[in-house]
Amino acid sequence: MKKNYVSNSEESVRMFKSNFMEAFSRVHFSVPLILYVPVVLFFAIAAFVSAGVSIAGFAGFYALGVLVWSVVEYFLHRFVFHFVPESKWGQRIHFVFHGVHHDYPNDTKRLVMPPAVSIPLAFLFYFLFSLILSKAYLWSFFPGFVSGYLFYDITHYALHHHNFKSAFWKKLKKHHMLHHYSDSSKGYGVSSPLWDKVLRSDFIKKQA
C-alpha cells in the first residue's frame, strides 16, 4: 500500500487564508466538554422532571443512544471522512474535514470536531431522532447519543497524546495507530473497534 505523507509535528499547515476561518478550524480538546456536558445534563433533567421517565426507562434509552452513536461514528468515519472525490474542490473539502488529520495526526488543535461542524450535526440528528421518538424517549436517548460523541472526541485526543498502562486503552490506541500508520482502509472505529469486527474492517491478526 502506498504510504502518504505523515508529519510528527504537533502543529499542522494553515488551511484558510482568512484568519477568521482559520481560527474556527482549531479547537482545544476541552471545548466539546464545555459545550455538550450542559446539553447532556439539560436533557437528562428534562427527561425526569418534564417527561416523568423512570430510571430504568432513561437508562435503557440512554444506553441505546450511546450504541447508536457508535454506529454513526463508524459510518461517518468510513463513508464520509474517508470519501475522496476526484474533483479538486472535492479533494480540498476532504482535506479540510479529515485529510489534514491524516497528514498531521498529532496536531493538538485538530483532534476534536470543531463546533462549526458539531453544532449543525447535533441539530440535524436531534431533528431526525425527533421524527421517530416521542419527547420522553428522545430526551432519554439524545443525552446518551451526545455522551457517545463526547467519549469519541476525548478518546480520539487521548489516543494521540497519552501513553496508557491499562490493557484496554493500549489495545484501543494500537487499533487507531494502525489506522493512521499502517492501513487507513481499516480500523474506522475510534472509541470502539466493535463495528470494525462486525463489518470486517478490522486489522487481521498476524499468526504467531
**Does the residue 194 lie in any domain?**
yes
Q: Is residue 87 part of a domain?
A: yes
Model pLDDT for residues 96-134, shown as the tens digit of each residue: 767 778 888 888 777 888 898 899 999 999 999 999 999
Is 81 among the domain residues?
Answer: yes
Within-domain flag for 208: no
Instruction: Answer for the pair 187, 145: CB distance below 8 angstroms, yes or no.
Output: no
| DSSP one-letter string for 34-61 | HHHHHHHHHHHHHHHHTS---HHHHHHH
All three cell numbers of 140: 432519554
Per the structure, the count of domains in the chain is 1
Residue 204 counted as domain residue? no
Taking the C-alpha atoms of residue 5 and residue 21, their distance in angstroms, rounded to an integer, is 25
Alpha helices in 162-208 (DSSP H): 167-181, 194-198
Secondary structure (3-state) at 187 = coil
pLDDT in the model for residue 58: 96
Phi first, then psi, for residue 103 (nearest 5°) are -80, -35
Q: Confirm whether 14 is domain-assigned.
A: no
In a domain, 3, yes or no: no
Write out pLDDT tens, residues 89-98.
777 777 776 7
Q: State the residue range of the domain holding 39.
A: 24-198
What digits encode the pLDDT tens for the residues 144-187?
999 999 999 999 999 988 889 999 999 999 999 999 888 989 99
Residue 78 within a domain: yes
